[in-house]
A = this chain, B = another copy of it.
């Protein structure tokens, strides 16, 4: 009774085809590195060397290193390429990451031998992904492209009843799930249900906030992402240089020195990077035109956080009376600190999950790197933070054209809308913006 799970025989197969049978042993790091060094991942067959069993250990490591390096550059290239080609391409990249991560995470909880007899489990997982994405994308599209959606005859009912439609789609999935419950499979089916919902919440919803950051301006996407990547690299460098004290048992290679050193360097990197990015409207302007890219111009009145402000120094300060700084330089300290001290816990969480399922990687989507989820684990919580921080402290809620159109169409009667058109037309005529003839039809009843 004391340790009821000791007797569990747990057989697990992940996407890599790596299979292990662990009988009640405590999971430890040596288990995993042992398993990781086993050869023969059939899905990375692109590497000819791995198919030959007589190839030496050195050759294999060299091959892995080359593959990993090539794909590192491919990823960096694709990332910067997409960013300069325009917001719509970054949205596509984030969507792809979202779907592949979801696929990887739901795959690790699947037990093929049992699932084979349950026809609908897999389809249901994808149905839930589709419903969630329909809901989230709809919310964003309605929020950011109100002025297009609401004046379109076909799209209007979808916009005004979006949440209800999404809810009913979800309810259909729920009823289908309950109807497909089969005696003897309850535990498996409920586990799948819970697991899929966790994946939706931890990956799909959080990735969606990253997408909303793109809409608010490229800088709100690029800064959080690059802060996390750089913090990771800095932690590695500081760790191998000064590292002595272990930080957390979950990841034995992480050290306190690496953690603190990386924080310091990330703050410096953030301040410098912000200083550069702030100069470009392509980065600081929200998207009003999805055809924008680095060569076309994107125009807006910059958010006040990007405008330099003169701060007076206290009278006892020796060298200067005042200094000038954009408020964004203060905000970036918070972003860099979150990226250094909190975001890594997203990675530790993912490590813990991998330990639980006794797998090395979430998948093999990126040759030499493991799964997409392995590279993204700290990004999700960082993107969520950036979204919340932006909307709480930085966003300026100007009156938006889309907002006024929405209010008028959903809240006013047709007669009142008519009055609105007449009223504004009259105002524009009074201001000399439009000539008499043009607005006239609306001025008379």
Contact = CB atoms under 8 A, between A and B. Distances in A.
Contacts of A171: 342, 381, 385
A20 interface: no
A45 interface: no
Interface string A118-157: 0000000000000000000000000000010011110010
Interface stretch (A185-193, A218-226, A367-375): A185-193
What number of copies of this chain does the assembly contain? 2
B430 A151 contact: yes
Interface stretch (A35-43, A232-240, A414-422): A414-422
A393 to B, nearest CB: 7
A175 B250 contact: no
A392 B8 contact: no
Nearest to A438: B441
Given A4-B111, A114-B5, A421-B424, A250 B181 contact: yes
A228 to B, nearest CB: 15
A433 interface: yes
A219 to B, nearest CB: 19
Interface stretch (A78-86, A273-281, A325-333, A401-409): A401-409
Contacts of A201: 197, 201
A401 B420 contact: yes
B418 A190 contact: no
A311 interface: no
A353 interface: yes
B427 A27 contact: no
Contacts of A397: 410-411
Contacts of A418: 428, 433-434
A113 interface: yes
B408 A404 contact: yes
Contact of A4 (B114, B178, B438): B114
Nearest to A174: B345
Nearest to A168: B388
A425 to B, nearest CB: 6
A76 interface: no
Contacts of A441: 437-439, 441
Output the residue of A114, A388, A397, A409 with the most chain B CB within 10 A.
A388
Contacts of A424: 405, 408-409, 417, 420-421
Given A179-B248, A186-B352, 8 more contacts: A4-B10, A181-B249, A190-B353, A197-B197, A399-B412, A401-B416, A404-B407, A421-B421
14 contacts: A5-B114, A5-B188, A8-B8, A156-B430, A181-B352, A183-B249, A186-B356, A190-B352, A197-B197, A401-B419, A404-B420, A408-B420, A417-B428, A421-B425
